Every structure is written in structure tokens, then in C-alpha cells.
Structure 1
Amino acid sequence: MGMFDRLVLFSDVHGTVLKDGKPVAGAELIQKVVWSDDENEIPPQRTVTDTTGAFAFPAITRKAGLLRLIPAQPTMLQTILIRYQGVEYIAWQHGKNSYDANTELDGRPITLVCELTRQPDYEGKHYGICKAD
């Protein structure tokens, strides 16, 4: 990345929400990121699944400013929650330590399949009911 490129705090996310293997329409998803280098809270992003259970979030980025010149280990805590029929599910929790895009899954884009009947568990370095597709 160049010195003036944007810092990627949370890469693009695409996914599908299922219940018993069937698409869930109308589930609310909330995406949050807590960044160690930001004094201000980053507002959560929200979306709702369509009739096929699909959802998407654009990348959360910030201007690089002087952070590209200062050697430091970035730390971002990423979370995606799903709310459906009065129940909240932990879909994704991940600690990101790079400002580059798609480092969450070692260079692969984040494409998730979230099964509401699954118990949250670890898959690689992330935790939740969503599995990387």
C-alpha cells in the first residue's frame, strides 16, 4: 500500500443468512469496528437481508494521514451481529492487525454463510455462527 492509501479497518463483507438451510429475509445485521488508533467511536453500519437472505457491507476505511509514517501494530476488533425475531446472534468477531484489504481471511474476500441454528464457534481466527465460503 502507498503512503496515502486509505486504511482498511474492515474489508468488504458479502454473505447469506440461513435458518435450517433456508434463506432468511428481513434479518438486521449490525457491523461494528473498534480501532485502537481512533479516539472517536466509529458508527456502526446496518443492513437487512433481502428475500434470498443476502447482505453486504462496504469496507470501513479511514484516511491514512501520518499513520503510514509511524511504525505501529494496528488493532481493530471487528464484530457483526444478526438480529432476527427478537434474538441476537454473534455472526463474526475478529481481531484485525493490518490496514490492508482482505487480510481477515489471508487475502480472500470475506464471503460468509451464517446459519442461525449453528452454535458460535471458532473457524480459523474468527468466531461466530458464520463460516467463510
Structure 2
Amino acid sequence: MGAFDRLVLFSEVRGTVLKHGAPVAGAELIQKVVWSDNENEIAPQRAVTDEKGAFRFQPITRAAWFLRLIPAQPIMLQKIVIRYEGVEYTAWRHSKNSYDADTELDGRPIRLVCELTSQPDYDGKHYGICRAEVD
């Protein structure tokens, strides 16, 4: 990455929400990120699942300015929650320590399957009901 390329605070996310293995239409997902190098709150992104239970979040990025030139360890606290039928589910919690894209899953894109009947647990480095799809 170049010195002034955009900083990726949360890579693109695609996924599917299921309940008892069936697609869930109309579930609301809220994606949030707290960034250690920014005092201002970053507005959450929202998505709603389609009839196949699919959702997508664009990457959350910021201008690099001089941050890539200053030696520091970035920390982005990432969270996705799912709201469906009056219940809120912890879908994804993760600490990202790199400004590069797709570092959450060690270079793989974030493709999630979120089963509402699952209990939140760790899946590799992230916590929640969503599991990363394996290619």
C-alpha cells in the first residue's frame, strides 16, 4: 500500500442471515467501528437482508493523510449486530490492527454465515454468531 492510500478500518463484509438454516428476510444489521486514531465517532452503517437472507457492507475507509508515515499500532474495534423480531444478536466483534483490506481473516474476504439460533462464540479471532465461510 502507498503512503497516502486510504485506510481500511473495516473491510467489505458480505453474508447471509439464517434461522434454523432458512434465509431470514428483513433482518436489520448495524455495523460500527471505533478507531483509536480518531476522536470523532464514526457513523454506523446499516443493511437489511433480502429475501435470500443476504446482506453487504461497503468497506469503511478514511483518508490516510500522514498516518501511514507515522509508526503506530492502529486499533479498530469492529462490531456488527443483527436485529430481528425484537431480539438483538451479537454477530461479529473483532479487533483489527492493520489499515490494509481483508486483514480480519488473514487476507481472505469477509464472507459470513450468521445463524440466529447459534450461541455467540469465538470463531478464530472474532466473536459472535457469525462464522466465516471457508473457500
TM-score range, shorter chain: over 0.9
What are structure 1's unaligned runs of at least 5 residues?
Answer: none
Secondary structure in 1 matching 2:67: helix
Q: 1:11: how far off? A: 0.1
RMSD over aligned CA atoms reads: 0.3
C-alpha separation between the residues in 2 aligned to 1:102 and 1:57? 13
Identical positions, percent: 78
Question: Could you state the TM-score of these two structures normalised by the residue count of structure 2?
Answer: 0.98
Secondary structure in 2 matching 1:66: coil
* Alignment partner, residue 85 of structure 1: 85
* Alignment partner, residue 122 of structure 2: 122
* Alignment partner, residue 68 of structure 2: 68
Q: 1:69: how far off? A: 1.0
Aligned residues: 133
C-alpha separation between the residues in 2 aligned to 1:104 and 1:39? 23
Question: Could you state the TM-score of these two structures normalised by the residue count of structure 1?
Answer: 1.00
* Alignment partner, residue 57 of structure 1: 57
* Alignment partner, residue 101 of structure 2: 101
C-alpha separation between the residues in 1 aligned to 2:107 and 2:47? 24
Q: 1:129: how far off? A: 0.1
* Alignment partner, residue 5 of structure 2: 5
C-alpha separation between the residues in 2 aligned to 1:52 and 1:92? 20
C-alpha separation between the residues in 2 aligned to 1:22 and 1:68? 44
1:19-72 residue CA offsets vs partner (Å, 9 max, x unmatched): 000000000000000000001000000010000000000000000001011000
Secondary structure in 1 matching 2:66: helix
Secondary structure in 2 matching 1:122: strand
C-alpha separation between the residues in 2 aligned to 1:120 and 1:100? 27
Runs of 4+ in 1 over 4 A off after TM superposition: none
